[in-house]
């Protein structure tokens, strides 16, 4: 039997990368999926693909740093599917790559809001629905950068560390309601985002993209990067009954690279 048969999941940042892979996999595993992202065109593409494959999905264009947009997301999901069993907080930008002394307050706030405030707001509006149902699973897509840092990306590292701290606190707070809260910490994940990160790191360090890529790969005992699907499978497990006694944990999906 599929892992998530009959479950209802909100997946944020579902237009590309990890979010898109998560939405598609959750549907494959039997979930009804509310796909949310800023781009109406791209998030509808994910939902349409789910429907084309026989699944049930809705697409919602939303700025998840705005309370009213998050409220509308939760309202639309419950109106369409009747409840919310799973929340995957994946929305977030990578932020700029630059020395901290050149990092503006606006860039800091944009990065922290896109990664951390979005997660807080989605939790805030989703938790009452889960409490009323007597169950729920929340998965925050953090990053290894929030555990071991990454030079020239102070905003992103701080926001992802914040997601991990939020995970610990929420697990203690929400366990009494039968709601599990966990985080996934991906390392380097194949795709457009890591290509942009490597190009920016190469430029600021005065080296080549290939050299940066090789440095990422050499950290992995498996000799490769992870994929978006690797992260999606972990999220599906954490939202399933198989993980009902797992909460307050951070699961690295990083091809074995060390945490420090």
Which of 156, 168, 177, 233 is the catalytic position?
A: 156
233 is known as an active-site residue: no
Q: By C-alpha distance, which of 231, 150, 218 is closest to 186?
A: 231
Which tokens go with 166?
A: 């939020």
Q: Are 114 and 92 in contact (CB under 8 A)?
A: yes
Q: Are 147 and 89 in contact (CB under 8 A)?
A: no
SS3 labels along the chain? CCCCCCCEEEEECCCCHHHHHHHHHHHHCCCEEEEEECCHHHHHHHHHHHHHCCCEEEEEECCCCCHHHHHHHHHHHHHHHCCCCEEEECCCCCCCCCCHHHCCHHHHHHHHHHHHHHHHHHHHHHHHHHHHHCCEEEEEECCCHHHHCCCCCHHHHHHHHHHHHHHHHHHHHHHHHCEEEEEEEECCECCHHHHHHHHHHHHHHCCCHHHHHHHHHHCCCCCCCECHHHHHHHHHHHCCHHHCCCCCCEEEECCCCCCC
Residues serving a catalytic function are 156
């Amino acid at each position: 039997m599929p892992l998530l048969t009959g479950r209802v999941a909100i997946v944020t940042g579902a237009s590309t990368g990890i979010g898109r892979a998560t939405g598609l996999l959750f549907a494959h595993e039997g979930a009804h999926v509310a796909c949310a992202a800023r781009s109406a065109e791209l998030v509808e593409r994910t939902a349409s693909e789910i429907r084309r494959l026989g699944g049930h999905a809705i697409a919602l264009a939303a700025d998840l740093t705005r309370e009213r947009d998050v409220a509308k997301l939760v309202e639309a999901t419950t109106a369409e599917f009747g409840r919310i069993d799973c929340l995957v907080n994946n929305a977030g930008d990578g932020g700029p790559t630059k020395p901290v002394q050149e990092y503006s307050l606006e860039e800091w706030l944009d990065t922290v809001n896109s990664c951390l405030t979005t997660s807080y707001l989605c939790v805030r509006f989703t938790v009452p629905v889960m409490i009323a149902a007597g169950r729920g699973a929340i998965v925050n897509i953090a990053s290894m950068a929030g555990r071991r840092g990454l030079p020239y990306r102070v905003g992103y590292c701080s926001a992802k560390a914040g997601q991990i701290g939020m995970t610990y606190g929420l697990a203690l707070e929400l366990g009494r309601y039968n709601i599990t809260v966990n985080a996934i910490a991906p390392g380097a994940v194949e795709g457009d985002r890591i290509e942009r990160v490597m190009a920016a790191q190469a430029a600021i360090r005065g080296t080549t993209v290939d050299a940066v890529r090789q440095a990422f790969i050499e950290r992995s005992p498996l000799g490769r990067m992870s994929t978006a699907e690797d992260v999606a499978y972990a999220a599906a497990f954490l939202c399933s009954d198989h993980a009902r006694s797992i909460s307050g944990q951070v699961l690295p999906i990083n091809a074995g690279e060390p945490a420090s």
